[in-house]
Structure 1
């Protein structure tokens, strides 16, 4: 399966159409998009709302947030399938 860099305007449109918004959007960028695959990124700053309580003194990315990020990219994939990629 070949990865394909989607045009910037399509990647931006996919992000705009995602239903999740700050502070619960865990996708900052879409890189590749085709009918078969998508890749995206969430940039962790260390200031996210969940770090102070998970765990105090040892901030750890909650597994449920990782799963949510994958689900959000998947929604982005479904939203982008109709686009000319």
Structure 2
């Protein structure tokens, strides 16, 4: 393998690893800012995005994404 191909391949790995780390950091942020144990303590009608934004002081988009992560995890189990 030529040096150029080897270097390009290593750059691809670094890029993929960096993307993985970014995804993991984002997931951590969602779970840290809106913890599952606190979501479970809310009444079912309070789990709407608007209520979560006011309780946890996050944006609508952030709350919506956290609820999507939660529902995806529930469907996987």
* Greater helix share, structure number: 2
TM over 0.5: no
Q: Which has the higher contact order (CA 8 A, sep 6+)?
A: 1
- The TM-score with structure 2 as length reference comes to 0.30
* Greater strand share, structure number: 1
